[in-house]
């Protein structure tokens, strides 16, 4: 069946594109608009009706998210009571926060009116409704699972129990929760038990929902492989992010070595990883690069971190910046010292697109084939990270890493490569 009309069903604000999830969703919408025409692409969004949103070329339809009391009732009915033996649907916190008969009714009505040939359901939060909203005959129905939340939560629990985890672990999901529960998530005594519960519940959803779709996609190839092992039968594969080509790629690093950290503080692994680096890597780094500068860029980073005080004026928190090209052009390398996380690190790909070398921990390049031949220096300990940073400052090494990063981008993540993959995934061209 030829794809003429598409619907993307999500609870994510697709614009402005300030963090990884928005960038991935925005790339999919861009591609669908290019191939089908913006008038034939529909974003069905569950969110606040009173929120001001930027103009977009595609068709946007907003369904009101559940009220706080409805969310609390759903959490009690579907998460709390089943743990005490009360019969009923047992679902994850993420699903319960958006569980509503009214949302199901409106989704059915909207999709009946749009009559899409392609439906893309965004994560288990909205994927839960695919079981209750029957598709039209011939409709291609996909689940975009993003990454394996169960693995993310497991890693966050492991780090919080062994070394402590900085930041609020709710991330983007936190915005869907009632206000009182959002506040409670800031307390480790609350979020650790909640994460333990959610880890198991969301793992069940990850293994249950792919059976309702024609195909399920995750950003990371490794995570797709692991989900296939856990959930045999359904088609499960990876979907690379579609990033825009940088406006300019020329780099002019300053004489003072500047390393840039990219990542919003709403994402707990970013907050935690940078905090760990500033606290535990300072002596090792300054012993080999006494004049180093660390620039921190991303939503919420203007708040700073207390661990930066000991660095003096060597650390600068810039918050969100509009011109990423200008920031990275002055950098000697991207710094990604994460201790935990999941999915593909969009910030690393943004650096590679600009031919910018990457210095990272293993978790900081999760989901990417990171090695020196792709422009990355990967190290785990403070001493090894410091040596990698010093190596990246050598002009010849930096130049070689820069060429390797851009070549890796060209053959793996460039728009030309990813768009061909998207045509196949969305059924826009015959599979060859």
> What domains are there in the chain, each with its CATH number?
6-244+416-425 (3.40.50.2000), 258-413 (3.40.50.2000)
CA distance 348 to 137: 41
CA distance 205 to 212: 11
CA dihedral sign of residues 396, 402, 403, 408: positive
CA distance 332 to 106: 51
Helix (H/G/I), strand (E/B), else coil: 355: coil
Query: 87 near 66, Cβ under 8 Å?
Result: no
Task: Look up residue 267 and give its DSSP letter.
Answer: S
* Per-residue pLDDT tens listing for the chain (432 residues): 789 999 999 999 999 888 888 999 999 999 999 999 999 999 999 999 999 999 999 999 999 999 888 888 888 888 888 877 666 788 998 899 899 999 999 999 999 999 999 999 999 999 999 988 988 899 999 999 998 989 888 877 776 666 555 555 555 556 666 666 666 565 666 667 778 888 899 999 999 999 999 999 999 899 999 999 999 999 999 999 999 888 766 787 778 999 999 998 888 789 889 999 999 999 999 999 999 999 999 988 999 999 999 999 999 999 988 888 888 999 999 999 998 876 788 999 999 999 999 999 999 998 888 778 889 999 999 999 999 999 999 999 999 999 999 999 999 999 999 999 999 999 997 544
Strand boundaries in 65-139, DSSP class E: 118-122
CA Rg, the chain, in Å?
A: 22
Neighbours of 261 (CB within 10 A): 26
């Amino acid at each position: 069946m030829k794809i003429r009309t598409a619907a993307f069903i999500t609870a994510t604000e697709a614009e402005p594109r300030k963090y990884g999830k928005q960038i991935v969703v925005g790339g999919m919408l861009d591609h669908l608009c290019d191939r089908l025409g913006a008038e034939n692409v529909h974003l069905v969004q569950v969110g606040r009706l009173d929120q001001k949103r930027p103009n977009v070329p595609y068709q946007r339809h907003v369904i009101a998210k559940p009220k706080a009391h409805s969310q609390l009732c759903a959490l009690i009915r579907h998460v709390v009571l089943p743990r005490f033996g009360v019969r009923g649907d047992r679902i994850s916190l993420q699903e319960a926060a958006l569980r509503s008969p009214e949302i199901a009714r409106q989704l059915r009505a909207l999709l009946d009116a749009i009559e899409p040939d392609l439906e893309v359901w965004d994560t288990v939060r909205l994927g839960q409704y695919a079981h209750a909203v029957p598709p039209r005959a011939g409709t291609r129905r996909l689940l975009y699972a993003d990454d394996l939340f169960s693995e993310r939560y497991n890693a966050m629990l492991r780090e919080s129990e062994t070394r402590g985890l900085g930041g609020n672990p709710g991330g983007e999901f936190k915005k869907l929760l009632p206000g009182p529960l959002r506040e409670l998530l800031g307390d480790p005594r609350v979020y650790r038990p909640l994460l333990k519960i959610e880890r198991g519940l969301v793992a069940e959803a990850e293994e249950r929902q792919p059976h309702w779709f024609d195909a399920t996609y995750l950003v990371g190839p490794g995570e797709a492989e692991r989900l296939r092992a856990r959930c045999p039968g359904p088609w499960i594969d990876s979907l690379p992010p579609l990033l825009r080509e940088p406006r300019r790629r020329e780099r002019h690093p300053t004489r003072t070595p500047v390393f840039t950290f990219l990542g919003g503080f709403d994402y707990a692994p970013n907050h935690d990883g940078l905090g760990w680096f500033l606290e535990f890597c300072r002596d090792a780094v300054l012993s080999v690069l006494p004049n180093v500068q660390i620039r921190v860029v991303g939503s919420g980073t203007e708040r700073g971190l207390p661990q930066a005080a000991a660095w003096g004026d060597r650390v600068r928190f810039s918050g969100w910046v509009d011109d990423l090209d200008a920031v990275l052009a002055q950098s000697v390398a991207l710094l990604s010292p994460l201790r935990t996380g999941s999915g593909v690190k969009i910030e690393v790909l943004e650096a590679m697109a600009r031919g910018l070398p990457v210095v990272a921990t293993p978790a900081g390049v999760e989901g990417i084939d990171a090695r020196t031949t792709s422009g990355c220096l990967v190290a785990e300990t403070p001493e090894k990270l410091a040596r990698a940073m010093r190596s990246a400052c050598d002009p010849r090494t930096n130049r070689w890493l820069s060429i390797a990063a851009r070549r890796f981008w060209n053959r793996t993540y460039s728009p030309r490569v990813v768009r061909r993959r998207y045509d196949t995934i969305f059924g826009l061209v015959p599979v060859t």
